Structures are given as C-alpha cells and as structure tokens.
Structure 1
Amino acid sequence: MDRLLANGTVNAAQSGEGPPLFLFHSLLSDRASFDAIVPGLAGSFRIIVPELPGFGRSRAVDGGLAKIADRMAEAVRDAAGGAPAIVLGNGYGGFVALQMAIRHPDIASKLVLADSGAAFSEPGREAFRNMAKVSRDKGLEAITDVAMRRLFAPEFQAQHPELMQDRRAAFLRTDPEVFRAACDALASLDLRSELVAVKVPVLVLVGEHDEATPPPMSHELAAGLPRAELRILEGCAHVPQLQSPRQFLEAIEEFLR
C-alpha cells in the first residue's frame, strides 16, 4: 500500500505491523531493491519504503543533500508519529540517512548504513563527476553499463540476466537532473567531522566486492561513529539486500531487536 508523507511530497510503500522501520534506496537503483527482504521483516516491523526526493512519485527538492535529508526527516516523523524510528539506508540512501541523523539527532533510534560512508576518496569523487558529465552529454544510457558494474560484479550480472534487465530499466527511469545533482552532492560530500553527533547505535554493513563505496569507506565510517559495529558481507557488492537477501537479513536480525 502506498501513502504520501511530508505534506504529500514523499511517496512510500507500507506493509507489515510493528515498530516503524524505514528503508532508503540507493542512487543507481530504486525502492524495488528491497523487495526481497521486506517479507522477512514485515512480520516484526511496519516497513516504510519511500521513494527518495526526485525518484518515482516523490517530489524533487533543491538545496543538496542537506535539504533532501530534511525532507526525509519530515517524512519519517510523519510516518512514525514523531517517535524515533529505525532507519536503514543503502548506498545513496545511507548518505541521506546519515545526514538526516546528524541534522536531526532525535529522528532515529538505530541506523543501519549499508554500503555507504562519510566521504569519498578523490578517485571516488572523480567517478561521480564523470558520470554526471557523461550523462549530461550523452544521456543515462551512456553510463548504464558503468552503473550496473558499480552495483553488481560481472559474474553476478552474467548469472542473473533477468534481474539485470530489470535493474537496467529501473536505472533508466531515474530523472537525469536528479541523478546529476546527486552525483554533484556526493562528489563534494564530507561528513567525517560531524560523525560524533550521531549518538545512536549504528550497524555499518558493506559488501566485500563493493566498487561503488569500497570497504575502506565503511571502515572509516564505523571508526568515526561513537556507537558503531561493522560487518562485511561476503560475496556481495553494492546492493547486498538484492544480491544475497538471506545473508543480509541474518546480518541485521540481532541488531534490529
């Protein structure tokens, strides 16, 4: 069931019963990337899976990642009735969740940050600048192969052709302007000095083969957070909940209790 949050600006799917658990999707994917784990969580939680601002039917917002985080804080408060909630973010969704927790310290009771970080290396920043430039010059189609490689290892792509067809189609539905704005934001982002503001427990997850947000970023993130634990997901890349849903659920199960 879909519902509109934050004065009708954020569209979200909702299922299950229990305390609220929000799932924020990555930049190169969409909210369907959580479809494989929602059934395993909906027995214990009320799962809210929003489309981030500018994706799907959620209204875009100007002002960079900070304003996006503010919009999502409004949506979380709306759906959770003002009480602190558990927020899980993957990739770009993890950066949004982290920025949100920094700017709104009362918003979350726990965070799960999967394949995310506090800042990119210079090669990582350059990759975002390049994707923005190529997409501007030639369209999203020109970077689809690059985007898929950032999400999944070549071997996984070869073994799951139908899934990859679906993921390519999802990426090509992304608003090009929203995509480029996100690339620009991530290319300049550095939240490392603000991590001490996050006082809630944080589970940091990363796929061992993640090329988009490599494991060193998660090591740095966990080291900078006051109450963080780090887990490496074997055999996974940037979207572990889609690539290995059972392993992902097992990794978060105890933390969510």
Structure 2
Amino acid sequence: MRVRVNDVLIRYEMQGPPGAPVVTFSHSLAAALESWDLQLPPLRDAYRVLRMDTRGHGGSSAPPGPYTMEMLSSDVIGLLDHLDIARTHFVGLSLGGMIGQVLAVGYPERLDRLVLCDTSNRMPSETAPVWEERIRTAETQGMTALARETLERWFSEAFRRDQPQATERIRNMIVRTPVAGYTGCCRAISRFDLSGELSRVKVPTLIMVGEKDEGTPVSAAETIQRQIEGSELFVIPGALHLSNIEGAAHFNRRLLSFLS
C-alpha cells in the first residue's frame, strides 16, 4: 500500500494480528522493505509488523534531494500517525538505525523499544569524499555501477557464493533504487552526527552488529552502547553489514528475546 506522508508517497506493508504490539522496520540505504523478509515469519503471529520503504527507495516516491535525517524520521512519524499507531517498537539497520536514533531523541514518546543494527552515531568528516564519489557514480553511471561493491560490503564471499538467489534479490533492490533517492539519502548520511545527543535516549535499546561489518564496525556499535545508558550489545558471528540476512538465525533469536 502507499499513502501520502508529508510531500511523498510512502509504500508500506503491515502484517500480523490487529491489536498486537507494533514493530516498525526501517531498511538500509539502497534497499527496500523486502530486505526484512526473514524477520517477518517469526514475528507476525505475536506482533503487528510494519515495514516501510524509506523516502526515495523501493515503492516510495523519490523527490529531488538533498534529504535530511529529520525529514526521514518525520516520514516515519507521519506514517504512524496515518495508521493511528501511538507507540511502536522500532528496528532500524544502517540508515534505518540512524533514523531510529533521531526518533529516540526527538520522539521518545512514540517508541517502546529500540533496536539499532549495523549503524553509527555519526559520519566522520573524513568519509565525505567517499560519499561524494558514490553520489557521482550514481549520477553518471547509474545504480548498476554501485551494485557489486555494495554487495561485497554487505555480504561475505561465502554468503554470496552459497546464497546466489538471496544475493540476486538484494542486488535487484540496489539497482532499482532511484538515483535521486540514493543520492538524497547519501547527503543525509554524510552529514549525520548525533554523538552529542545519544545520552538523552531513555528508550530500552538493543544494538546489534555483524562481527565482520567494516562499514559500521563493532567499534561503532560499542560507541553507541557507551552513550545510551543501559543499552545492550549483541555481535552476530560471521556476518557483515546486512546482519539480519546473513546472520538471520542469531538476529531473530536475539530480537525476539529483547522485544518480549
């Protein structure tokens, strides 16, 4: 389904029993709500699972950028308001985890529990050239030119070899991401810095990260844990950036334990 939120159409899917606690999932850059497919089966009997395409991704519309994290978090709140959801558990990975941090600081009354996966509380200024290069590549060569290196950051060589169908599904998400949406969110990520505000987060928080994630490594997760009092950290063995897929069994078991 799609609904107009703020100035964009947001695509979402909701599954699970009416009246059950809501769990909202927010995906990474260059992905879509289907990247949470492996989390749906273990949750949908006990929870109402809300998955959404971030502005500029999947089936959501992609207005010209740049975007901001405040804009992306406002889209989440707008969708919750439209669906008459007062409070939700929130699970965000990478870009989605950054959105989750903004929500926890700016809209704590809307969150029950927070799960931050393979994310960071800031983008160091020295990474700016990397983001500019990715933006140039997308604008001049298209998303296909970014697919291979993105998959290599997201999944181990063994996963890509042994799970070709799953890898191809994610590759298709990357390639189909609108350039305007990708570059708009790249701008938001490159300017992200919430390091001075995370100590304000009082929502019960679980931080999960792939053991071999190089983009948002374990050290970045440890930094978030130190800043959010009482937060928990779980490292998913062997996984890279999309730990919810490569390490799905570990991810789902820890997620269910935390939510319950």
Q: For the Cα contact (< 8 Å) 2:121–2:194, is it kept in 1?
A: yes
> What residue is the counterpart of 1:217 in the other structure?
220
> What residue is the counterpart of 1:9 in the other structure?
9
Aligned partners of 1:112, 1:196: CA distance in 2, in Å? 16
User: What is the CA deviation profile of residues 170-222 of structure 1, one whole-angstrom value per residue up to 9, with x for unaligned ones?
Assistant: 11110101101211221121110111222111100000111221111111111
2:109 is equivalent to residue 106 of structure 1? yes
Cα distance change on mapping 1:191 and 1:167 into 2, 3 Å: same
User: Aligned to 1:67, which of 55, 65, 71?
Assistant: 71
Q: For the Cα contact (< 8 Å) 2:208–2:233, is it kept in 1?
A: yes
Q: For the Cα contact (< 8 Å) 1:84–1:108, is it kept in 2?
A: yes
Aligned partners of 1:232, 1:123: CA distance in 2, in Å? 26
Q: How far apart are residue 226 of structure 1 and its match?
A: 2.5
Q: How far apart are residue 38 of structure 1 and its match?
A: 0.3
Aligned partners of 2:4, 2:47: CA distance in 1, in Å? 18
Q: How far apart are residue 135 of structure 1 and its match?
A: 1.6
User: What is the CA deviation profile of residues 57-114 of structure 1, one whole-angstrom value per residue up to 9, with x for unaligned ones?
Assistant: 32346541211111111212333x3422100001111111211222222121110011
User: Aligned to 2:253, which of 250, 254, 257?
Assistant: 250
User: Aligned to 1:19, which of 6, 18, 21?
Assistant: 21
Aligned partners of 1:109, 1:5: CA distance in 2, in Å? 25
Matches within 5 A, 1:95-174: 95-122=98-125, 124-174=127-177
Aligned partners of 1:241, 1:173: CA distance in 2, in Å? 21
User: Aligned to 1:236, which of 234, 239, 245?
Assistant: 239
Q: How many residues align?
A: 255
Aligned partners of 1:138, 1:131: CA distance in 2, in Å? 10
> What residue is the counterpart of 1:91 in the other structure?
94
Q: How far apart are residue 223 of structure 1 and its match?
A: 1.0
Q: What is the Cα-based RMSD across aligned positions, in Å?
A: 1.9
Q: For the Cα contact (< 8 Å) 1:28–1:147, is it kept in 2?
A: no
Deviates most, 111-120 or 96-105: 96-105
Q: Secondary structure at the match of 1:254?
A: helix
Q: How far apart are residue 26 of structure 1 and its match?
A: 0.8
Identity across matched positions, percent: 24
TM-score, length-normalised on structure 1? 0.92
Cα distance change on mapping 1:167 and 1:58 into 2, 3 Å: same
Matches within 5 A, 1:27-42: 27-42=29-44
Amino acid at match of 1:238: H
Amino acid at match of 2:14: Q
